[in-house]
Structure formats: structure tokens, C-alpha cells
Structure 1
């Protein structure tokens, strides 16, 4: 789930544990332009403190004013609309006459926020069902690909797990990729069986596993929320892992190297048990071309391309934006 929304849940749990009253606000529908997507959340405490966002500021101000004026008075969830009229759209600053529908839920001990957080910490994909008539909450394992739904006065939302990123190789570049990906709320794992890399890895919260990369790819059972990047420059490590990753549902598989080296890699992979269709999913050379020279800049280009793929940006559009930045010698380009 989005790191902002995870922070909303964690803060809500802390407020409840401290004896505060608070409300959870969820975007359930939008019309026209909207600064935040369906499923975005915000929590507001009884002292007017907020965490998260549902509109970028305008609606938040109205919610805060209501709490500071009247306190938290709801005892049951409520559906609230903003921007229905032109006057409201202007008042709340919704762009292009946008309209937003929110579910506002008063939280309490039976809202099961702490239990939800515990299951997310275990990397479960969880479905939370809120009965709008009674405020009762149930949790169960979610079906991958399910989306927020409101039907028969029951609001169903999906939470977690975080997107996963497996990095092959524990190099300096891998450290920057891991740090940036962690900040983007990926669950990051680094794999490198080479002894010389055992003592040099030190990225808080990111484990270095000393296993063969292809074995780990199989053990992780990659799904559509998983990505793999091969950064060792060693075909003995990268290629076997890529071979298994390309057969999986992973949404992104990439490998570092020049265009010439990656052309040779593609030839090798075709000689293994990799089909042309599977090979077409390989991003190599890895990353969007942004003129990267330092490891930190290359890491940014890798995460930029990974983000574009995750968000469904077409390859043609990515190429269009990068066309003006063609490298002087693309055969030597490592992004």
C-alpha cells in the first residue's frame, strides 16, 4: 500500500492507544479532476491534528474546522460529498469542477486498526470490510487485483502488502537503489552470494541474503507486485535470476549493462528456457535515460522507469519524453 496511507493507519493506532478520538477519511469516488486517487486516506484527531491527504489541502481545512468547532461527534460512518455545486467546487478549490466522495469513519477499539497493521507487517494482502450502518469491521485475506468498492452499505478496501523489490548484487549502486526504493515504501531484499560483499552491506531495514539469485527468485514466489533488478554485471549471477524472473508474473524485470552487452544477454537467455514473449518484458539497459553518471543518478533512473511501469505509463510515452536526451554513444550507455 502507499506509504502515506500506511502512516495514516499507524498514526491512527497511536492516537487510539493514547486515548484520543479520531476519524478515518477515505476517498471512495471522484468526478472530474481530483488531486488524490480513490482509496487515498486521511486521519484526523480530536485536537484537529491530521495525517495523510484526500484533496491536497482544501477539504482538509474544512474537516479540521469542523472538528475544532464541534469535536468528533460521529458515532457511525458517514458518506460526505464535496464539490457537488459550482459554488462548492469554487469554495473547496477542486480543479476543473471536480467532485469527491468521502467515507468518514469514527475509529474505536473495534475498528481493528492494530490487527490490520499487524497483518500488513507480515506482508499480507488484507481486505477490510466496513458496515456503514453499524460501524462493524471485518478483516480477511484479499484477492490480488481487487479494488475499493461500496455496495449494499459495505465499504471494502484493500491494504498491503508493499510492493517488493529484489536487487541482485550488493554494489554501491544497489545501496542507492535500495535506499530510494525503501523511501518509496518498497519491501527491498538484496541477494549476493559473493563472500567479498558480506561485510560491506549496511542499509538499515534491507537484508542481504547470501543465496544464489535464481534460487531466491523461485523461493520468493514473485507476483504482480514484485520487481527484480540485476545489477552485478556478472552473467553467472544475473542471467539465471533473470531467466526465472521473466517466467514469473513480476511487473518489472531489469538488468544493468550497455546496449551491446544486453544484446548478448538476450541471445544467451533465448538459448535457455526463455521465450521471445517472455524476453520482451526485460528492461535492458535498465532505467530511463536521464544522462546519469553517478551511482545515485543511475539509481534514480532505475526507480523512475520502475515507477513508470508500475503506474502503467506506456513504453512509447516513456520513449517520447526521453527522446530529447539521447546519449551521445548509446552502445556505452548504462543509464
Structure 2
């Protein structure tokens, strides 16, 4: 399953190849309770058709209406929404939130190819647009990740997609795989048991063949990867966790009670793992919400994944801001 950004950009490229004009909008910065994070993108076609999102819906409606009446900027521009309470209420921005959005006219499908390739190939791409001239530059991205304005240049980043490797194709694994895809995770499943493979019917998730520890090494977990073990079988879970805890994965979790988790950590300490690496393990996995059924447990796991992902993004944003101020 491709990321939501890839779907938006691919649809935009299709429109341009069909002879339409379009605009790409990117959230640069938000204040207050704005509904989308910096980096969220929207493409609006010249007849008002749109894909993606930069708000809860009202700003999209305004931009679509401008497109229908040929009122969108012909050159790159900075748009401000919700600059006062009255405008925030007009556009449905909650609690007086504010958004700064970069608007960029698109005229050639080739403009989108570098972003699509970076997303497909899991490469981080830094895209820079000169606000006055529309000149575009591309280079390999740094870990900054969030868009920003620097003088007359607007910088944004594309790729890679967040990934989730699930060890275990049981009922919980199936529910977790289905739900995670709706949260823009590229889902991968590993379970060496033939009987589990025969009964797997979740569409959109990639089945990876091999023993779990070998699969973890094969996918080379990066800071956009989460790994969750749900087989409840130490022979399968522990070896995968051993490799995962030494990787760059941003989240590693395992199913099991508090007592079983302590036993698991003791087993892991007998291998070549530092105490810091062992303590990276989230277990019992998921937020404590009183979950019992597979669906409820999947919700608790995904809630903790969302929470951790948001923390990772916030740290990246803070570090990027510090680097830019220092420069």
C-alpha cells in the first residue's frame, strides 16, 4: 500500500497528463488547534476537483471555489488562513487556529516525478521552490522532515512512508494489519507457520517469507519503522525482538502480560543487548485502555504507535528548528 502523499501526487500527475491545470498546497506552519500538521498536502484541479487535505474541509472548499473561478495564484504564493477569530470561524478552524499554506501552480506532470520516486524508493527528498521565480531544486534530504520558509525559498520533504512489521498472522495480527493501513502505515506480515499463511486474508499487507529474525534484518528497519510481535510464542517473538531492539526502528512492542514481559526482558539480557536497548521494548504493548478483544487490543497498540510517532515528529521538528536558528 502506497502512502497518502503518493496517492495525492500520483492523482495530480494523472490530471496534468490529461491536460488539466492544478495547484499543490502544503501546510507550512500551524498555530493553535489547526487540524493538520505541517507537511500535509492538497492538490486542487482547475475545475475544483481535489485530493488530499490541509484542514478539516472548509479551506479545501474555499480553494476549490477559487479554482473554479480561476482565482488561484499564477505564481508560488504564501496563503494565511485564520489570522483572526472571525476568519477562523468562517473557515471552521477550531479554537482560533491558524494555518500558513504554500500554494504552487503545477503545469507539467514531470514536476511530480522526483517526489513520487522518493516515496516509492523510501528515500528522503528535500524539495526547494523559489517563491518569486518558481525555480525548483531537489537534493537528498536531511532528517529535518518539516517544511519551512528560508528567505525567498520554501523547503519541503517527501518520503519515506511509515512502516509496520507485524510478527504473527493470528486474529490480532489481522485486525492490526487492517487498521494500520488506514493510518498510512505500509504493513508487512511475517509468520513462518504454514497453517497461518493459508488462512491469511487481509488485503494490502505484504507477506514476507522467512523466520522473523531474518525478516527483521532483511527490511533494515529505519526511524520510520515500527515492529510489533503478537505470536505469543517466544521461539518466534524473541529472536525477532533481539534484532529489532538493535535497529533504528522508532517503536518495538510485544504482546504479553507484565509478568511475561519481565521474563522476556531477562531472556533478552542474556544476549548481546545493552540495558538501554532492552528498555526500548514496549511491553505489555499498547496504551492501557482496558482492552481485551483483538480489535480493542489493536486500537490500544495503534494508539501508542500514533503517540510515539507524534513524539518522534515533534523531536524532529524541534531539532530542525534549532539547526536552522544556529545556521
TM-score range, shorter chain: 0.7 to 0.9
Residues 49-64 of structure 1 aligned to structure 2 (within 5 Å): 49-64=49-64
Could you tell which deviates more after superposition, 301-310 or 6-15?
A: 6-15
2:323 paired residue number: none
Matched, 1:173 2:179: no
Deviation at 1:86, TM superposition (A): 5.0
For residues 311 and 82 of structure 2, the distance between their equivalents in structure 1, rounded to whole angstroms, comes to 29
1:204 paired residue number: 203
Q: Give RMSD over aligned pairs.
A: 2.3
1:231 paired residue number: 230
Matched, 1:295 2:282: no
Could you tell which deviates more after superposition, 78-87 or 46-55?
A: 78-87
Unaligned runs of 5+ in 2: 313-327
Unaligned runs of 5+ in 1: 314-335
Residues 1-335 of structure 1 aligned to structure 2 (within 5 Å): 3-69=3-69, 71=70, 74-85=73-84, 87-109=86-108, 112-312=111-311
Deviation at 1:3, TM superposition (A): 4.7
Q: Is the 8 A contact 1:111 1:137 kept in 2?
A: no
Cα pair distance change 1:296/1:99, threshold 3 Å: closer
* TM-score, length-scaled by structure 2: 0.86
2:322 paired residue number: none
Instruction: Report how many aligned residue pairs link the two structures.
Output: 311
Q: Would you identify which runs of 4 or more consecutive aligned residues in structure 1 move more than 6 Å? A: none
Q: Which of the pair has the greater relative contact order for Cα pairs under 8 Å at 6+ separation?
A: 2
Deviation at 1:278, TM superposition (A): 1.5
Q: Is the 8 A contact 1:3 1:184 kept in 2?
A: no
Deviations 1:136-180 (CA, angstroms, capped at 9, x unpaired): 323332223432121132211111211111111222221111111
For residues 7 and 109 of structure 2, the distance between their equivalents in structure 1, rounded to whole angstroms, comes to 20
Matched residue SS, 2:129 = strand
Cα pair distance change 1:149/1:111, threshold 3 Å: farther
Which of the two has higher C-alpha Rg?
Answer: 1
Matched residue SS, 1:47 = coil
Cα pair distance change 1:116/1:276, threshold 3 Å: same
Q: Is the 8 A contact 1:21 1:72 kept in 2?
A: no
Q: Is the 8 A contact 2:56 2:92 kept in 1?
A: no
Cα pair distance change 1:23/1:266, threshold 3 Å: same
* TM-score, length-scaled by structure 1: 0.84
For residues 296 and 311 of structure 2, the distance between their equivalents in structure 1, rounded to whole angstroms, comes to 23
Cα pair distance change 1:189/1:152, threshold 3 Å: same
For residues 296 and 96 of structure 1, the distance between their equivalents in structure 2, rounded to whole angstroms, comes to 33
Q: Is the 8 A contact 2:30 2:99 kept in 1?
A: yes
For residues 291 and 281 of structure 1, the distance between their equivalents in structure 2, rounded to whole angstroms, comes to 23
Q: Is the 8 A contact 2:75 2:132 kept in 1?
A: yes
For residues 264 and 89 of structure 2, the distance between their equivalents in structure 1, rounded to whole angstroms, comes to 56
Matched residue SS, 1:214 = helix
